[in-house]
Chain A
Amino acid sequence: MSSKVTRRQFLNYSLMGVGSFMAAGMILPMGRFALDPLFKDAAAGSDIQTSIKVSEITEEPTKVDFTYNQKDAWYESEVTEFAWVYKDGDKLIALSPVCKHLGCTVTWAGDDGNPDKFFCPCHNGLYTKDGNNVPGTPPRGPLDQYEVGDKDGFVTIGKRFENELVK
């Protein structure tokens, strides 16, 4: 017997078909939105590639420039900042050059009397190599750190965070 489809069945099937397409059309985007954070790989504040090779980094802090886009209100501009990067054994360490006193830029070995310290020219602030502020000088805390990585042999700079080398 040929399986005949009755008018009632045909209508039921086609309504179900159309209905499920409509439901899928609504639910799929919602599901995609809900899962979206899982698919995103830390786009904001992701690591910035620099032009300095990891092999060039020594135990002596080196200036590593990195550039990113900054948006101030409706004006977008390219900003170049830098970090002091050095090797501690095999580990890369990146320190922010912004003085924790009032925000000047510190230099490595900028003071002739302290060749192994970071020096702030504004008020003669000093920091040890791990960023710890030397007591008796104006700075109020240790230098911030940057996340630092190695991508295809080049240094990458990531987010800034409070110094964890100093306990």
Chain B
Amino acid sequence: MLYTKNDLNVIKDEIEFIDTAIIPVVDIDMDNLSMNRAEHIEFIQLIIMMLEKQLKGRLLITPLFTVVGEDASQVEVFNNQLKEYGFKNTIVLSFRELSLEGIPVIKINHVPISDMDKDILESMVKDEMTIVLKEIIRIWNS
């Protein structure tokens, strides 16, 4: 499920089934690494789309959580809200190491996607999505 009016309306009644919130955290600092970050954002959106297709009925994928600077503590505030709403699990997807209290973080590898052929890109996204998928299922089963 995504953060849209229709999906949120479903979640309201099905919170016992849709019990996991995914928070994709990306950096949007404007400096000489911005181009890398832009690539990250593009890549994570492709992963999210695939993930949504696979596990639509159990995940809420929140809008991209944009962070400026080192401090990502706002994620914890958001996490608390999600937990209060009724999500049993919250999982952060991120390209950098984040140490957040009580939230599992799945680190996504940087892949230089900009010059990639469409088929290769698709298989890269699929591979990365599979890693994330397995990690989510591991968290569910733990």
Contact = CB atoms under 8 A, between A and B. Distances in A.
A102 interface: yes
A138 B16 CA distance: 12
Nearest to A138: B17
Interface residues of A, number: 11
A130 B64 CA distance: 39
B51 to A, nearest CB: 11
Contact of A102 (B53, B54, B58, B137): B58
A104 B55 contact: yes
B53 A123 contact: no
Contacts of B54: 104-105, 121
* Interface bin, chain B: 10 to 19
Chain A contact surface mostly: loop
Contacts of B56: 102-105, 122
A99 interface: yes
Interface string B51-63: 0011111100000
A135 to B, nearest CB: 17
B138 to A, nearest CB: 12
Given A102-B17, A102-B18, A138-B17, A122 B53 contact: no
Contacts of B14: 102
Interface in B8-66: 10, 14, 17-18, 53-58
A87 interface: no
Contacts of B137: 121
5 contacts: A101-B17, A102-B58, A105-B53, A121-B55, A121-B137
Closest 9 CB pairs of A and B: A102-B57, A122-B58, A103-B56, A104-B57, A122-B57, A105-B54, A103-B57, A104-B56, A104-B55
Interface of A: 99, 101-105, 120-123, 138
